[in-house]
Amino acid sequence: MPKRGKQYTQSRDKLKAALPSNFEEAVQHTLASSFAKFDETVDVAVKLGVDPRHADQMVRGTVVLPNGLGKEVKVLVFAKGEKEKEAQEAGADFVGNDDLVEKIKGGWFGFDKAVATPDMMGTVGKIGKLLGPRGLMPNAKTGTVTFELARAIEELKAGKIDFRVEKAGIVHAPMGKVSFGTEKIVQNITAFLETIMRLKPTSSKGTYLKGVAISTTMGPGFKVDVAQVKELLK
């Protein structure tokens, strides 16, 4: 087991002693445990009662966080013709086609999200092995393969995230910055959890929402009582 630093240990002990009476207090305790000198990201991990090995139990989706992520999101768009102009006018940071493909082949990844028009996917597919492992491959299921570029760019800039359940049945996602404060983080987590609940597979039996943990970039995870989570979602 790795040896933890003094600040981490103190933060962990503080959270262990916390006895929140509701979800908002749980978030408040988590934010108060932040000790890094930078504005840490708040992450949430949700344990689901699904088996991702079965296609009909895969949980995947997107949600626009009401308060965003607290950082500038650089959007790259693969498009050609009139759609290039549309993407530029919509606020895309990088727009192009074959030129961008070659640039990425050369090792450049100076963007956070990628969008492509459907007619560009044959070209984008050439760098799928580079984009995929980094979570940058445009995908129709997450709304990043579309001709509606203005809408896609606006949502990504506003804090749209995509998520997918992992092999262990856990979904991880960022929920903003510690500086947001309790209220805004709670609003973001609520929007995320409501989306998770709506995506419950019909083939999922038993308990669907098994656990929720909140943490900051450098801090320990804080497990929240599922009953408090359900109360929040009522």
How many other β-carbons are positioned within 10 Å of the β-carbon of residue 127?
Answer: 19
Model confidence over 146-180: pLDDT tens digits?
999 999 999 999 989 999 999 899 999 999 999 99
Whether the pTM exceeds 0.75: the reply is yes
- Domains in the chain (CATH in brackets) are 21-69+160-232 (3.30.190.20), 75-157 (3.40.50.790)
Q: Which residue type occupies 25?
A: E
Query: What is the pLDDT, as a whole number, of residue 234?
Result: 82
Model confidence over 95-106: pLDDT tens digits?
999 999 999 999
Query: What is the pLDDT, as a whole number, of residue 21?
Result: 72
Query: What is the pLDDT, as a whole number, of residue 177?
Result: 95
Flag residues of the chain having pLDDT under 70: 1-6, 8, 10-19
| Per-residue CA distances from 47 to 87, 125, 144, 213, 226 (Å) | 37, 32, 26, 9, 10
Query: What is the pLDDT, as a whole number, of residue 19?
Result: 67
Query: What is the pLDDT, as a whole number, of residue 62?
Result: 92
Separation CA 230–CA 23 (nearest Å): 9
Query: What is the pLDDT, as a whole number, of residue 2?
Result: 60
Query: What is the pLDDT, as a whole number, of residue 219?
Result: 83
In angstroms, the first-to-last Cα distance of the chain is 39
Query: What is the pLDDT, as a whole number, of residue 14?
Result: 62
| Per-residue CA distances from 129 to 96, 105, 109, 136, 217 (Å) | 19, 10, 13, 10, 28
Query: What is the pLDDT, as a whole number, of residue 11?
Result: 63
Query: What is the pLDDT, as a whole number, of residue 126?
Result: 94
Contact criterion met (CB below 8 Å) for 57 and 204? yes
Q: In this structure, are strands 160-164 and 60-64 parallel, antiparallel, or unpaired?
A: antiparallel
